[in-house]
């Protein structure tokens, strides 16, 4: 049960994280956690404000003798990605997260854990509540809706915060300091279709792709994992051409920033072709499991009889949809020249969903190079425009350009080496941190991102490494204690 994490060290951090697991906080539904944070700050007697977009700021004065230090802003986001396994019953708007300990890891049962970014938020809360830590003036900035639009970061007003240094605590590898990130943009594609009568002589089946690992569409995009939408459409391309099956419904993926783990389609199959159809499903499952046997050991592709659909998607749109989704770029597009191993440009074909005469396809495109991101937009638009779909882009956010001369970077490298006996790695990340956006309104900020080790955020396999949480906390405490002079 969740309460067992209360016995972990550092207790101050884990107690706050437990509180966060008990408050539903999916993106776009953050009213409860925002109110909780406001009451938390006020209960400590600290200056606490909530702005017009939903960000919460709590300000704590310096401890005696530290008033001459530069102000530090500890920053994390309040929302979490709501992803669950299909066989897990969970209402993210009302149910708490059921966290549990598995060796050196904390996980959740069948859902995302919310360590992204609950760990950073919990750490800032522990600093605010402490009567023993030594620090200069600190502010905690808890932003809203980071996962689906970075609404809080975009809406942050200049002049609200007084600090000079931003510690973003939303990274996922302990012992690494991040000084740059990719920018991104949302692509939305829509097909309008006519609803056609289901002809006689066809039998309805439901095609199901499941068992994939999914994961963060930035951090995990280079791991070679399967995309449930692409696998499903690959089979549909074959079956519609060779067996004249027809598509009635399609639904794959969940969130733009999560690699799709599951997808299904309702189809009708000519009765005389059922045996060949089922054999083809088995054949393609064998192909998929062979191709992805290391990356996706639990992959499953099945067909099961289902209820007769009310209508079919008209054949022209069916074929255009299948061809364009099949052709759409997906995964790692290019690696960085300047930072070996770093993904520079990628796209995640995140969701495909038919409903009420419209099929919506959603992608998230990322790149640390603005011109490459623009080029990828043109590629995606070209593919779907040729298929007659409407294509639009929104939610663009900038990347964060590395500053290797950063004063806080140099200081934190030295603090880490003194504390742990080794120099931390300095990296950029192929994910959307808020630093690039926040720095737009606070251009004087010296920024860095760090955190404990997590794996598989944005998926039900999300987990956080317990020993690294202690190191993350100790590093934060030492950084605050040695804040630079004004």
Question: In the predicted model, is pLDDT for residue 179 greater than 60?
Answer: yes
Give the CATH superfamily of 185-397: ACT domain (3.30.70.260)
Work out whether strand 138-143 and strand 72-77 pair parallel, antiparallel, or are unpaired: parallel
State the pLDDT confidence band at 7, using cuts at 50, 70 and 90: very high
Select from 437, 429, 446 the least CA-distant residue to 153: 437
Select from 457, 392, 397 the least CA-distant residue to 156: 397
Annotated catalytic residue 49: no
Question: In the predicted model, is pLDDT for residue 2 greater than 80?
Answer: no
Peptide bond between residue 10 and the one before it cis (omega within 30 degrees of 0): yes
Say what percent of the chain tops pLDDT 90: 94
Q: Span 161-190, mean pLDDT?
A: 96
Question: In the predicted model, is pLDDT for residue 440 greater than 90?
Answer: no
Active-site pick, 139, 145, 146, 249: 146
Annotated catalytic residue 146: yes
Please tell me the distance from the alpha carbon of residue 278 to that of residue 362, in angstroms, as a whole number: 30
How are the residues of the chain apportioned to helix, strand and coil, as percentages rounded to the nearest 5?
30, 30, 40
pLDDT in tens, 237-276: 999 999 999 999 999 999 999 999 999 999 999 999 999 9
Given a contact cutoff of 8 angstroms between Cβ atoms, the answer to whether 154 and 161 are in contact is: no
Given a contact cutoff of 8 angstroms between Cβ atoms, the answer to whether 351 and 362 are in contact is: yes
Active-site pick, 30, 79, 220, 296: 79
pLDDT in tens, 37-71: 999 999 999 999 999 999 999 999 999 999 999 99
pLDDT in tens, 377-423: 999 999 999 999 999 999 999 889 889 999 999 999 999 999 999 99
Instruction: Tell me which fold the domain 2-182+399-481 belongs to.
Output: Aminopeptidase (3.40.630)
Residue 338: what pLDDT?
78
Helical spans, DSSP H, in 338-392: 370-386
Peptide bond between residue 422 and the one before it cis (omega within 30 degrees of 0): no
Chain-centroid distance, C-alpha 161: 26
Residue 1: what pLDDT?
57
pLDDT in tens, 280-301: 999 999 999 999 999 999 999 9
Annotated domain spans of the chain: 2-182+399-481, 185-397
Residue 310: what pLDDT?
96
Residue 339: what pLDDT?
81
State the pLDDT confidence band at 358, using cuts at 50, 70 and 90: very high
What pTM was estimated for this model as a whole? Answer: 0.83
Question: In the predicted model, is pLDDT for residue 189 greater than 80?
Answer: yes
Q: Span 418-442, mean pLDDT?
A: 93
* Ramachandran bin of 377, using left for φ above 0, alpha for ψ from -120 to 50, beta for the remaining angles: alpha
Q: Whole-number mean pLDDT of the chain?
A: 96
Question: In the predicted model, is pLDDT for residue 341 greater than 90?
Answer: no
């Amino acid at each position: 049960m969740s309460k067992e994490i209360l016995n972990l060290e550092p207790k101050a951090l884990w107690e706050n994280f437990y509180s966060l697991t008990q408050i539903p906080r999916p993106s776009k539904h953050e009213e409860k956690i925002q109110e909780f944070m406001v009451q938390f700050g006020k209960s400590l007697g600290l200056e606490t404000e909530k702005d017009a977009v939903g960000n919460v700021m709590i300000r704590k004065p310096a401890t005696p003798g530290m008033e001459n230090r530069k102000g530090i802003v500890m920053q994390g986001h309040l929302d979490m990605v709501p992803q669950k396994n299909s066989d897990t019953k969970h209402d993210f708007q009302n149910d708490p997260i059921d966290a549990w300990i598995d060796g050196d890891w904390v996980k959740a049962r069948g859902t995302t854990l919310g360590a992204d970014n609950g760990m950073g938020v919990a750490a800032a809360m522990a600093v605010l509540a402490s009567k023993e830590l030594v620090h200069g003036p600190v502010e905690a900035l808890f932003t809203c809706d980071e996962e689906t639009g970075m609404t809080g970061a975009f809406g942050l007003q200049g002049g609200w915060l007084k600090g000079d240094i931003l510690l973003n605590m939303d990274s996922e590898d302990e012992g690494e300091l991040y000084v740059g990130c990719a920018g991104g943009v949302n692509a939305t594609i829509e097909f309008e279709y006519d609803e056609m009568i289901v002809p006689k002589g066809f039998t309805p089946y439901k095609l199901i792709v499941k068992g994939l690992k999914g994961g963060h569409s930035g951090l995990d995009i280079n791991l070679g994992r399967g995309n449930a939408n692409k696998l499903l459409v690959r089979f549909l391309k074959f079956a519609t051409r060779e067996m004249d099956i027809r598509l009635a419904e399609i639904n794959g993926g969940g969130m733009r920033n999560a690699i799709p783990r599951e997808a299904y389609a309702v189809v009708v199959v000519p009765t005389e072709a059922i045996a060949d159809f089922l054999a083809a499903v088995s054949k393609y499952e064998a192909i998929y499991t062979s191709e992805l046997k290391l990356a996706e050991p639990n992959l499953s592709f099945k067909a099961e009889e289902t209820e007769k659909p009310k209508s079919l998607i008209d054949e022209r749109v069916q074929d255009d949809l299948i061809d364009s989704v099949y052709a759409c770029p997906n995964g790692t597009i290019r690696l960085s020249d300047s930072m070996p191993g770093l993904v520079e440009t990628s796209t995640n074909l995140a969701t495909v969903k038919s409903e009420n005469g419209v099929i919506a396809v959603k992608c998230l495109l990322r790149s640390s190079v603005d011109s490459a991101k623009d080029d990828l937009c043109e590629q995606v638009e070209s593919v779907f425009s040729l298929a007659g779909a409407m294509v639009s882009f929104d939610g663009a956010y900038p990347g964060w350009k590395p500053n290797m001369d950063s004063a806080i970077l140099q200081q934190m490298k030295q603090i880490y080496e003194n504390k742990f006996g080794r120099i931390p790695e300095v990296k950029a990340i192929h994910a959307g941190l808020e630093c690039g956006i926040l720095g737009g309104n606070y251009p004087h900020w010296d920024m860095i991102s760090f955190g404990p080790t997590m794996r598989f955020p944005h998926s039900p396999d999300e987990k956080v490494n317990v020993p690294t949480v202690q190191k993350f906390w100790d590093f934060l405490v030492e950084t605050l204690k040695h804040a630079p002079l004004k």
